[in-house]
């Protein structure tokens, strides 16, 4: 758990962001650099600032996305405008990005935003790429996102895992929640694949890099089991995570407006139709109760807001 144990090659710099924006990983090589993931669109100015300071005069040549959710690619357009970098995305996103399918990108459907961009190249499982002067192999990482990729550097026993493995868990299992595919089975297969790698350090999409990979894998497998056993619990967890994500962007929402808000966002409506079948007044009340109890939000003066650590 301790950050002191985690040592990264000197040419790799991780900008640890939070939840609205994913981490940004800068890999420098001579006068050039590659960035993995670009954060959320409303944080793009900060992303630009961090990247520019990390570049320290180098040229950002390539931007690679582990997957194309709003918190990982929301800064792409801005970075391309600024640096003229080449954008490389998982091959499963080629058509979706070409059409800018806001539903498949979970933008319109989850009330999230991103500036439109077009990829210059696609990569898939088994592809080799060089980042930061190191050789990386691209691995499939279906589960949280069925098109997601991870990047493995055997020489340094390093994995860039995106949202397939965090120190504590992994991202929302969208395909299972939405009923379009078995994300949980895919997640298990992805975790199995990670377990077979010779690993020293994982750089996740959110949270600090970590070295105790076995413990993280054990937590992730346990979470996958728990979610598989209780579909409603999985749906509640997805509802909470997606709502908190919205709130991180909007800062606050009027408590009185919450039922109508939930009813107006397609993915919340779908979750309610599929798993809860409650009135939106009830759904809002339960959601607020859960999140206040968990310390994630506060309700004050009729406003629902993210709880700030004091």
Residue whose CB is nearest to Zn ion in the complex, by number: 69
The nearer residue to Zn ion, 83 or 245, going by C-beta atoms, is 245
Q: Would you say 34 and 132 are in contact if contact means Cβ atoms under 8 Å apart?
A: yes
We find the least distance from the C-beta atom of residue 220 to Zn ion, in angstroms, to be 15
We find the least distance from the C-beta atom of residue 69 to Zn ion, in angstroms, to be 4
We find the least distance from the C-beta atom of residue 103 to Zn ion, in angstroms, to be 16
Cα separation of 278 and 283, whole Å?
A: 6
The nearer residue to Zn ion, 28 or 67, going by C-beta atoms, is 67
- What are the distances in angstroms from CA 65 to CA 168, 277, 292, 309? 22, 36, 34, 30
Sheet holding 303-306, edge to edge: 252-254, 303-306, 297-300
The nearer residue to Zn ion, 178 or 303, going by C-beta atoms, is 178
The nearer residue to Zn ion, 134 or 160, going by C-beta atoms, is 160
Residues that bind Zn ion (CB under 5 A): 69, 163, 171
Distance of CA 36 to the CA centre of its chain: 12
Contacts of 218 (CB under 8 A, 6+ apart): none
Helix (H) or strand (E) segment spanning residue 267: helix 266-271
Cα separation of 101 and 103, whole Å?
A: 5
The nearer residue to Zn ion, 156 or 240, going by C-beta atoms, is 240
The nearer residue to Zn ion, 34 or 112, going by C-beta atoms, is 112
We find the least distance from the C-beta atom of residue 97 to Zn ion, in angstroms, to be 15
We find the least distance from the C-beta atom of residue 298 to Zn ion, in angstroms, to be 26
b/e 52-69 (16+ beta carbons within 10 angstroms → b): eebbeeeebbbbbbbbbb
We find the least distance from the C-beta atom of residue 189 to Zn ion, in angstroms, to be 18
- What are the distances in angstroms from CA 22 to CA 109, 133, 254? 20, 23, 27
């Amino acid at each position: 758990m301790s950050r002191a144990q985690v040592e990264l090659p000197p040419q790799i710099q991780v900008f640890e962001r939070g939840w609205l924006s994913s981490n940004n990983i800068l890999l420098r090589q001579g006068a050039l650099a590659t960035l993995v993931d670009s954060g959320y669109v409303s944080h793009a100015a900060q992303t630009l600032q961090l990247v520019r300071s990390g570049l320290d005069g180098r040229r950002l040549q390539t931007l690679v996305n582990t997957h194309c959710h709003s918190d990982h690619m929301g800064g792409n357009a801005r970075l391309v405008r600024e640096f003229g970098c080449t954008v490389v995305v998982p091959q499963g996103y080629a058509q979706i990005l070409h059409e800018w399918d806001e539903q498949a990108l979970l933008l319109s459907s989850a009330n999230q935003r991103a500036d439109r961009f077009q990829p210059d190249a696609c990569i898939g499982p088994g592809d080799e790429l060089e980042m930061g002067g190191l050789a990386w192999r691209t691995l499939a990482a279906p589960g949280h996102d069925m098109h997601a990729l991870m990047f493995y550097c055997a020489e340094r026993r390093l994995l860039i895992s995106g949202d397939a493995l965090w120190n504590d868990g992994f991202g929302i299992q969208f395909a299972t929640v939405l009923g379009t595919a078995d994300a949980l089975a895919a997640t298990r297969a992805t975790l199995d694949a990670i377990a077979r790698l010779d690993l020293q350090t994982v750089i996740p999409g959110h949270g600090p890099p970590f070295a105790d990979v076995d413990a993280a894998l054990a937590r992730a497998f346990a979470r996958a089991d728990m979610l598989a056993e209780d579909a409603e619990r999985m749906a509640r967890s997805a509802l909470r995570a997606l709502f908190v994500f919205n709130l991180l962007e909007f800062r606050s929402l009027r408590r009185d407006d919450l039922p109508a808000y939930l009813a107006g966002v397609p993915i919340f409506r779908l979750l309610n139709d599929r798993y809860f079948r409650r009135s939106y007044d009830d759904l809002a009340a339960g959601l607020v109760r859960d999140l206040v109890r968990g310390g994630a939000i506060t309700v004050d003066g009729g406003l629902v807001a993210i709880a700030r650590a004091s």
